[in-house]
Amino acid sequence: MPRQTRRSAKAREAQSTSSEEDNSQILTNGNGSAHHDAPEAPDSTPKENIFLFWPNIIGYSRIVLAIASLYYMPLHPRTCSVLYSVSCLLDALDGWAARVFEQSTRFGAVLDMVTDRCTTSCLLVFLSSAFPRWAIVFQGLIALDFSSHYMHMYATLVVGGVDSSHKNIDKTQSWLLNMYYTNRNVLFTFCTFNELFFIALYLLSFSSPYLSPHLIKSVEESSGTQIDPGAQLNSSILSQIFPDPFSAAALELARANKMDSFVPWTLAGISFPVMFLKQVINVIQLVKASRWLADVDVKSRKAKGLPRKAVKAA
């Protein structure tokens, strides 16, 4: 055998032996041997508790205030309005805290949206009972609010991925939605006046004889029942609701019925145009999100070769 061939064979044998040793070392390391593995550096970064971030704590406060406002909603319009308004205004504070403390989280964004949707829906449910003839309108507003935001968030995740935000809307997709979500002043104005209109309607249900005449009319005027002249009874609507017309709840309702309706009417008139535009944006958001999802479906079906062409009969 030539000398060069012998040298080549020895080199291949040495290389094979080295490879086996390396593979053995890799297998040993893969099994977690303490003799061969280098100790990993301990993670010195403290584990963060997302639930205790300042924006999320503010979000919890909003929920508590909203629940308290619902408790006072049937009979204490002033207390309810204050609690509900503070809960809504804290919506701007949690966004500020997220930017200042660098604590923007997906959990916080979802918590914020869920709180907004639930509080507004609860108020609209009360308005449906206060104005039964307009219940279908309030029910439609609830359905539009939930469907547009759910469809928009789902479409954003499908199109942009899990790292995308529902507020990241490109101008090419919709300049109106881009301005609505990227301009903080525009977003704050629309959300504030939208809630202000519904709060004004809530106050008018306790104060306006035009919208809620049954609250201040007598039993005879509201129900048409004839009252005997000699009968001793309380002709107030309070006697139809409460066994004791002098109970705390009855007196609170009586004070609520003496509210001046000028301020609620003024607030309703000022906030109505913005509220109406907010509903238009919800419709646009719903339509755009539906189209985005449909485009994704078309591309997905095309990638799968659908629809399959029918085989022509021979």
pLDDT digits (tens, 9 = 90+) for 220-263: 444 445 545 444 444 455 555 555 555 666 666 666 566 788 99
On the question of pLDDT at 149 being above 70, the answer is: yes
Distance CA 112, CA 120 (A): 12
Count of structural domains within the chain: 1
Interval 198-208 mean pLDDT: 89
Q: Can you say whether the dihedral through the CA atoms of 197, 201, 202, 207 is positive or negative? A: positive
- What pLDDT score was predicted for residue 232? 46
Does some domain include residue 255? yes
Does some domain include residue 6? no
Would you call 116 a catalytic residue per the annotation? yes
Q: pLDDT digit string (tens) for 108-130?
A: 999 999 999 999 999 999 999 88
Distance CA 186, CA 180 (A): 6
Considering the candidates 91, 94, 112, 116, report the single residue annotated as catalytic: 116
CB 126 within 8 A of CB 199: no
CATH of the domain at 181: 1.20.120
Distance CA 71, CA 76 (A): 9
Q: Which domain does 232 fall in, by range?
A: 50-157+172-299
Does some domain include residue 29? no
Distance CA 55, CA 12 (A): 65
**CB-side neighbour CA atoms (13 Å) of 177:** 23
Interval 277-285 mean pLDDT: 96
pTM (2 d.p.) = 0.73
On the question of pLDDT at 212 being above 50, the answer is: yes
- What pLDDT score was predicted for residue 261? 87
- What pLDDT score was predicted for residue 206? 84
- What pLDDT score was predicted for residue 170? 73
Distance CA 165, CA 113 (A): 12
Question: Which range has the top average pLDDT, 161-170, 190-199, 253-262?
Answer: 190-199
CB 80 within 8 A of CB 72: yes
